[in-house]
Structure formats: C-alpha cells, structure tokens
C-alpha cells in the first residue's frame, strides 16, 4: 500500500492516508524500457495526480527501489537519487517551530543507534538525533522502526523491549540497569504487560490513528520479542562481571578461569549434586536467579560470593550443553 503522511489542522496531528493499492506484486508496477533503466507505471502517477498529491519522482522511485530487479539496482546504485536524502533532511531542518517527541520513540532511536541499555541520560541527547521523526504520522513512524529493527539479532530482542518500555524503572538497584536477567522474571512479565496495555491505550501516542480494542499489530511484535526470547547473558551482564574480575587483577595478568569443583557448586547452590544434574536449563536458571537475589551486592551480599555464584552457574550450563 502506497501511503503518505499529512497534517490535519482539525485534529492538530499527522495522519496517514492510503494513496494506491499495489497489491501482492508491487514489482508489476515497475516498467523496464530497455538497458539499465526503469520507471514507475503511469497508473500510479496518474492516480496520485488525480488526488492532488504533491510528490517527487525520485521519492517515488525510492519507495519502490527494493522491488527493482537486482542486476539493475547493482548498476544504478551509485547514481540512484543522489542528493535526495540530503535534500529531504534539509527540508526537515528548515521546518519552523518545535515538535514534541514521544519518549517511547526516543528510547527506540537511542537504543537502535547506540545500543545503550542504561538510558538515564537520554534527556541529554541532542534533539537533532530524533529529527528523523519529524512530520511523520504514527503509521509512517512505526514503518520506519520496523525497518531499523531488522538490524537486531534474536539474542537482542528481549533486551531491546526491556529498554524501550523502560522496565528498569520498576526495579531498584544496579541489577535493573545492568543485569535484567537476574531480576524476578514473573514480576518483570507483569510490569511489561501493564506498560504494553498502557501504551496501547495511549490516545496521544496513537493520535491520528484508528484506535482498536485488541492489541495493535504494531505492538504485537514487541510481545513476541519479549515472551518468545530470552535475555542474552553475554551482553551487558558479562561485560559488567568481566570488568569486576579484571579490576581485581591489577598486579597480575588475566588467567583463564578454571573449572569450578562440583563440591563447591553444591555448596553455593545449597542443592544436592543429583538434583543439580537432574535439573533442566529452565529450572537451573530459576534457581540461579533466586540465589542471585540473595547474594547480589545491592541486596547486602558480598562481591566475591556473587562472582562465585555466577561462575558456578556458567559451569553447570556448560555441562548441560
């Protein structure tokens, strides 16, 4: 579906409207007259003209660019719509007045561009960082983010949702910003559902967009990312743990971590050896999170004991693989 965003003075917001239904085969509207050239079928431009839509031919080509034959794209790429993006960005900058950015959009931009989990400094980010969101309807903004999110890997999905919904504000302590997988996951799930429903019901956020009773399709993907994937233990948490370990090695070079004896693992977890071996990964992780709450420095535990717990947990996971 070919759409555009327009400002509605009656509602004082940007709305999207359908301009042309391209069907299931958008490439059928691309004409190849010969050589390495192409143009958009006149049926499309005539329909846009009939609706009084102001458009740039280069912008139209850009929208359908991914449907152009690959061999032609490769040859035209260096010359295709040169200066168009720069010109469009300049036009955005020249628009008078200020625009209120949605904090949810700001968190998404901030994470996708920087990968920052702890976003307590987001208010210090220059507003020009979010200028790409100017003069866009909610529909166009969501389509923009869907394209950006393609750069995420499955191991980043849950962390991404955790950050953009600002779930860390629901928990106290350093672990909320650096070790989300050590939090109470049941409590985390409840808070996510609350915030997801709150965003779904936010009329200001969906201004210019039709409200729906069931969860909006633009939010369904975040529910899938959160519940169908797990936190990646190899991201911020491992960096934090490794930094702590290295901070104790000022006077000697780092040495490979040795295997934790099973007797020490049993002592740390307080569970018999047979029970540990019988546990699956989910049960082991649940036990680890319970012990982490008890031993974490933010809860009054000792750093050394907490590090030993993490090493023992990693050792058990290695054996279960």
CB 64 within 8 A of CB 40: yes
Confidence at 57, pLDDT banded by 50, 70, 90:
confident
pLDDT at 94: 42
pLDDT at 99: 54
- Render pLDDT for 280-290 as a digit per residue (tens, 0 to 9): 888 888 888 88
Confidence tier at 96 by pLDDT (50, 70, 90): very low
Return the CATH fold of 256-320.
Helix Hairpins (1.10.287)
- Summarised one tens digit per residue, pLDDT across range 99-134 is 578 999 999 999 998 888 888 888 888 888 888 888
**Looking at residue 9, what is its pLDDT?**
87
Q: Is residue 293 scored above 60 in pLDDT?
A: yes
For the chain, domain boundaries: 2-93, 103-227, 256-320
More confident residue, 182 or 142: 142
Other beta carbons within 10 Å of 213: 6
pLDDT at residue 311 tops 50? yes
Confidence band of 227 (pLDDT split at 50, 70, 90): very high
């Amino acid at each position: 579906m070919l759409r555009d965003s327009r400002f509605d003075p009656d509602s004082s917001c940007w709305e999207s409207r359908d301009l042309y239904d391209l069907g299931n085969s958008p490439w059928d509207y691309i004409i190849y007259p010969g050589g390495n050239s192409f143009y958009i079928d006149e049926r499309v431009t005539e329909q846009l003209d009939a609706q009084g839509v102001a458009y740039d031919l280069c912008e139209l080509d850009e929208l359908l660019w991914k449907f152009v034959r690959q061999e032609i794209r490769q040859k035209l790429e260096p010359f295709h719509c040169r200066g168009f993006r720069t010109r469009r960005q300049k036009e955005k900058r020249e628009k008078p007045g200020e625009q209120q950015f949605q904090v949810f959009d700001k968190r998404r931009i901030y994470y996708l561009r920087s990968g920052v989990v702890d976003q307590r400094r987001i208010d210090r980010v220059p507003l020009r960082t979010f200028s790409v969101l100017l003069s866009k309807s909610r529909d166009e903004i969501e389509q923009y983010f869907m394209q950006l999110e393609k750069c995420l890997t499955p191991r980043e999905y849950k962390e991404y949702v955790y950050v953009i919904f600002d779930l860390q504000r629901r928990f106290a302590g350093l672990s909320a910003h650096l070790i989300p997988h050590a939090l109470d996951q049941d409590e985390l799930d409840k808070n996510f559902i609350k915030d997801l429903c709150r965003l779904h019901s936010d009329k200001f956020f969906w201004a210019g967009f039709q409200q729906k009773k069931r969860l909006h399709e633009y939010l369904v993907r975040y529910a899938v990312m959160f519940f169908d994937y797990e936190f990646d233990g190899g991201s911020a948490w491992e960096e934090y743990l490794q930094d702590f370990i290295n901070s104790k090695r000022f006077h000697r070079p780092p040495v490979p971590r040795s295997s934790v004896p099973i007797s020490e693992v049993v002592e740390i977890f307080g569970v018999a050896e047979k029970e540990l071996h019988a546990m699956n990964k989910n049960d082991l992780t649940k036990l680890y999170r319970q012990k982490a709450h008890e031993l974490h420095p933010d809860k009054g535990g000792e750093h050394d004991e907490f590090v030993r717990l993490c090493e023992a947990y990693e050792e058990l996971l290695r054996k279960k693989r």
